[in-house]
């Protein structure tokens, strides 16, 4: 073989290598700069809520069938509520008892206030009696002294035969009478002082009892608040016997039937919300110019001749592999570069035909018009 015959194949080989190198070096940039980015790795999605029980009980009634459309707040499943209604009644009765105890304590406080007023009145009366007795003693004491002086004078006169026996007896009687008056006033003073001490003791005891009743008020009021909280808990538990739809949507397959005993956390039914959106998994190299608000065309395999229109709502903050249960760790072992895919959420414009017939899980082909943001692009193909 001549050297000339080897030159042409070598030139072709070098040209092919250069072309391949050029394509490999600029392929990523060329893909990302395309005005339209398409993928068939796309599926319809919708928010699905697994409805579970918060309490234990027996299923009494199932108000919906499988795959039935429901409205928000519609009761889907009912549990037997006899125990929880009885618990609520018991809590309400306990609250009424605590409120009655508080009312009794208020009445006892009023009685105690009356006793305090009576003790104060007794103190005032006793002080007045003491003052009256002291005044009586003060007024009778000079008369008694004069009568005693006169008795002594009459006794001296009688001893000297200068006074009669009748005069002596008169002086003696007058002195005895005034001495009895003073003694009576002193007895009144002692009784008044005793009444004062008794009233003061009663007042102090009534005040201490009143303070104890005030403390009981605090205890009863705290108990009432605890009973009110128990009623709230009982009402919440009673409400948990009714499992309602949180939003409009369609229920899935029922996981609980009448007569079944369920525990807290038991999944009884699924709710699929009415709003359907598209999750398109684009390659990372396709996101160069893709932005939130870019318009998109969506073709659903179920309706191959119809195009649905929407816009990019959000781009995932990470690639799908980062949300996997076991994310790949490229820092260990051999490395093979794999183009990652990033989920992109696309919402469909409202008012389009067939939207109510779309179901989560349908396969789709999505084309995003990069750099074209704005309103809806009408028209079907």
Domain boundary among 195, 217, 238: 238
**Number of other residues whose CB lies within 10 A of the CB of residue 166:** 10
* Rounded Cα gap, residues 283 and 38, in angstroms: 10
Model-wide pTM > 0.75: no
Domain boundary among 238, 264, 295: 238
**In-domain check, residue 280:** yes
pLDDT at position 380 is: 42
pLDDT at position 157 is: 66
The reply to whether 257 and 176 lie within a common domain is no
- H/E element, 23: helix 3-32
The reply to whether 272 and 363 lie within a common domain is yes
The reply to whether 149 and 62 lie within a common domain is no
**In-domain check, residue 245:** no
pLDDT at position 191 is: 80
| Helix, strand, coil percentages for the chain (3-state, nearest 5) | 50, 25, 25
The reply to whether 227 and 152 lie within a common domain is yes
With beta carbons less than 8 A apart as the criterion, state whether 32 and 285 touch.
Answer: yes
* Rounded Cα gap, residues 154 and 158, in angstroms: 6
The reply to whether 89 and 165 lie within a common domain is yes
The reply to whether 217 and 160 lie within a common domain is yes
**In-domain check, residue 378:** no
**In-domain check, residue 88:** yes
**In-domain check, residue 61:** yes
pLDDT at position 115 is: 84
Domain boundary among 195, 216, 238: 238
CA distances from 219 to 105, 113, 213 (A): 11, 20, 10
The reply to whether 269 and 234 lie within a common domain is no
**In-domain check, residue 107:** yes
**In-domain check, residue 192:** yes
Beta partners for 249?
Answer: 70, 273
The reply to whether 302 and 346 lie within a common domain is yes
The reply to whether 201 and 142 lie within a common domain is yes
Q: What domain count does the chain have? A: 2
**In-domain check, residue 22:** no
The reply to whether 192 and 273 lie within a common domain is no
With beta carbons less than 8 A apart as the criterion, state whether 345 and 277 touch.
Answer: yes
Q: What is the pLDDT along the chain (381 residues), one digit of tens a residue?
A: 555 566 767 777 777 766 665 554 444 555 657 889 999 999 999 999 999 999 999 999 999 999 999 999 999 999 999 999 999 999 999 999 999 999 999 998 888 888 888 888 878 887 787 777 777 666 666 776 676 776 676 676 666 766 667 766 676 777 677 677 767 777 777 887 787 788 788 878 888 888 888 888 889 999 999 999 999 999 999 999 999 999 999 999 999 999 999 999 999 999 998 889 999 999 999 999 999 999 999 999 999 899 999 999 999 998 877 777 777 766 666 777 778 899 999 999 999 999 989 999 999 999 999 976 655 444 443
Domain containing residue 306: CATH number: 2.40.30.170
The reply to whether 281 and 309 lie within a common domain is yes
Domain containing residue 162: CATH number: 1.10.287.620
The reply to whether 101 and 193 lie within a common domain is yes
Range of the domain at 142: 83-238
Angle of helix 82-159 relative to helix 165-239, nearest 10 degrees? Answer: 170
Rg (CA), the chain: 52
* DSSP codes joined into one string, 155-191: HHHHHTT-S-HHHHHHHHHHHHHHHHHHHHHHHHHHH
């Amino acid at each position: 073989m001549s050297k000339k015959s080897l030159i042409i194949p070598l030139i072709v080989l070098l040209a092919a290598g250069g072309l391949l190198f050029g394509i490999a070096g600029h392929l990523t940039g060329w893909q990302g700069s395309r005005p339209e980015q398409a993928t068939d790795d796309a599926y319809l999605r919708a928010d699905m809520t697994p409805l579970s029980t918060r309490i234990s009980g027996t299923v009494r009634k199932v108000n919906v069938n499988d795959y039935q459309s429901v409205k928000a707040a519609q009761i889907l499943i009912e549990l037997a509520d006899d125990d929880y209604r009885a618990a609520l009644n018991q809590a309400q009765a306990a609250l009424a008892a605590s409120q009655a105890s508080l009312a009794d304590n208020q009445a006892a406080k009023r009685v105690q206030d009356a006793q305090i007023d009576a003790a104060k009145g007794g103190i005032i009366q006793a002080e007045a009696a003491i003052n009256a007795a002291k005044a009586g003693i003060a007024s009778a004491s000079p008369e008694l002294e004069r009568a005693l002086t006169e008795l002594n004078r009459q006794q001296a006169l009688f001893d000297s035969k200068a006074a009669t026996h009748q005069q002596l007896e008169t002086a003696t009687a007058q002195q005895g009478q005034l001495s009895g008056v003073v003694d009576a006033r002193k007895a009144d003073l002692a009784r008044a002082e005793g009444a004062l001490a008794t009233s003061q003791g009663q007042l102090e005891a009534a005040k201490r009892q009143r303070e104890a009743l005030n403390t009981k008020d605090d205890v009863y009021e705290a108990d009432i608040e605890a009973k009110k909280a128990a009623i709230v808990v009982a009402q919440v538990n009673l409400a948990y016997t009714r499992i309602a739809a949180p939003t409009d949507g369609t229920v899935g397959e029922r996981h609980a039937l009448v007569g079944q005993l369920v525990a807290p956390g038991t999944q009884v039914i699924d709710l699929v919300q009415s709003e359907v959106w598209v999750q398109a998994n684009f390659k990372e190299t396709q996101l160069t110019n893709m932005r939130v608000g870019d318009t998109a065309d969506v073709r659903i395999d179920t309706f191959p001749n119809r195009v649905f229109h929407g816009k990019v709502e959000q781009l995932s903050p990470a690639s799908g592999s980062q949300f996997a249960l076991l994310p790949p760790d490229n820092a260990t072992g051999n490395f093979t570069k794999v183009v990652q895919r990033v989920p992109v959420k696309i919402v469909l414009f409202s008012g389009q035909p067939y939207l109510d017939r779309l179901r989560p899980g349908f396969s789709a082909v999505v084309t995003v018009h990069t750099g074209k943001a704005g309103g809806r692009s009408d028209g079907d193909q």
